[in-house]
Amino acid sequence: MTTYKGINGFAVQSVATDPSPLDEGQVWYNNATYAFKLASVTTAGTWASGGNMNTAKNETAGSGTQTAALSFSGFSPGNTGATELYNGTSWTSNPTNMNTARREAAGSGTQTSTLAYGGYDSNSTAASESFNGSTWTNTPSMNTARHGLAGCGASNTSALGFGGIATTSLTGATESYNGSSWNSSPNSLNTTRSSFAGAGTQTAALAFGGQTPTLTAATESWNGSTWTSVNSLNTARKALAGAGIQTTALAFGGATPSRTSATELWNGTSWTTNPNGLGTARYGLAGAGTQAAGLGFGGYSGVFSTATEEFTGPGSPVTKTITTS
């Protein structure tokens, strides 16, 4: 018969006090309370309401972290360049807006070092702008004008833009920005799509969801030179938001085609559906932050939304007493 020691290589420890810190799946015997115990994660990720945005908008973009985020561009109705900064509690409208008002743009970076690129003004645009925490400055344009693209990156000098609609046709074109110019990669997305989400950095990115034109759950991983198809989302959808990095990403919201609050977590290999979804189901929202501390804002929930929600990822392992029930 298989034993615990046979599986793990060591016997269950007998201790007078519960160990700390805990490792998920750890088992021990507490000889002071005469009980076998287990370290188990019992809390799922949860969404909580944050401060509302000042400008309600759909098809918006964002960057930054949960406590220092940036919202820019969108449709409110009409294209907008409205820019707002979030401090973890409330949004403040920036005195100056983007130089090119647009919707369905992509963005990457931090609250004080963001790059916004692509989108739709009166047509697909290649316009690119850099934000330094207070003002927007025009930068060299992308090589392929497009809207409905996705992007990611660490700052306004290190960004990756991919996919979207180039005027009327879907494109999988991938471009990287180095602070002075956009460079086209010879390798495009495997699944050409628009209205999808991205997470990660210029050299380690993740693309997921979107429209091909049918809804897709396809997920792809970027290593700095090529895209590789990996395990798909559980819920196919478009106009969703993303946050995090290539190995720990967060996907939430979107249209299936109806508005959804569905939230999924990526562990580097596969997506897991989180039991708790957004409080406000919507699509066309923006995301920022990490899988452990994400932020979702704006979008369309039946009306143009100002709603902001903060995500706290699954909790650390906690002690559970093993019983016979």
- Which pLDDT tens digit goes with each residue over 265-283? 999 999 999 999 999 999 9
The pLDDT assigned to 2 comes to: 52
Are the CB atoms for 72 and 64 separated by under 8 Å? no
How large is the average pLDDT for residues 21-37? 84
For residue 250, pLDDT beyond 80: yes
The structure tokens listed for 74 are 């969108």
The structure tokens listed for 111 are 């609250």
The pLDDT assigned to 13 comes to: 87
Mean predicted lDDT score pLDDT of the chain = 94
Residue 226 — pLDDT band, cuts 50, 70, 90?
very high
How large is the average pLDDT for residues 82-95? 98
CA-to-CA distance for 92 and 235, rounded, in angstroms?
A: 34
For residue 23, pLDDT beyond 90: no
Cβ-based neighbour number of residue 256 at 10 Å = 16
CA-to-CA distance for 76 and 289, rounded, in angstroms?
A: 24
CA-to-CA distance for 2 and 315, rounded, in angstroms?
A: 31
CA-to-CA distance for 40 and 320, rounded, in angstroms?
A: 7
Reduced to 3 states, what is the DSSP secondary structure of residue 158? strand
Q: How many helices (H) and strands (E) does the chain have?
A: 1, 30
CA-to-CA distance for 8 and 5, rounded, in angstroms?
A: 5
CA-to-CA distance for 65 and 42, rounded, in angstroms?
A: 26
Residue 316 — pLDDT band, cuts 50, 70, 90?
low
Measured CA to CA in angstroms, residue 239 lies from 26, 222, 254, 305 at distances of 40, 21, 5, 14
List the domain boundaries for the chain. Answer: 4-40, 46-312
CA-to-CA distance for 134 and 303, rounded, in angstroms?
A: 29
Closest CA to 121 of 137, 98, 89, 143: 98
Largest alpha-carbon pair distance within the chain? 72
The 8-class DSSP code of residue 33 comes to T
The structure tokens listed for 263 are 């939230």
For residue 292, with 0-12 CB atoms within 10 Å meaning exposed, 13-18 middle and 19 or more buried, which class applies?
middle
Are the CB atoms for 200 and 161 separated by under 8 Å? no
At the fourth CATH level, the homologous superfamily of domain 46-312 is Kelch-type beta propeller (2.120.10.80)
Burial 166-191 (b: 16+ CB within 10 A, else e): beeebbbbbbbbeeeebeebeebbeb
Percentage of the chain with pLDDT > 70? Answer: 94
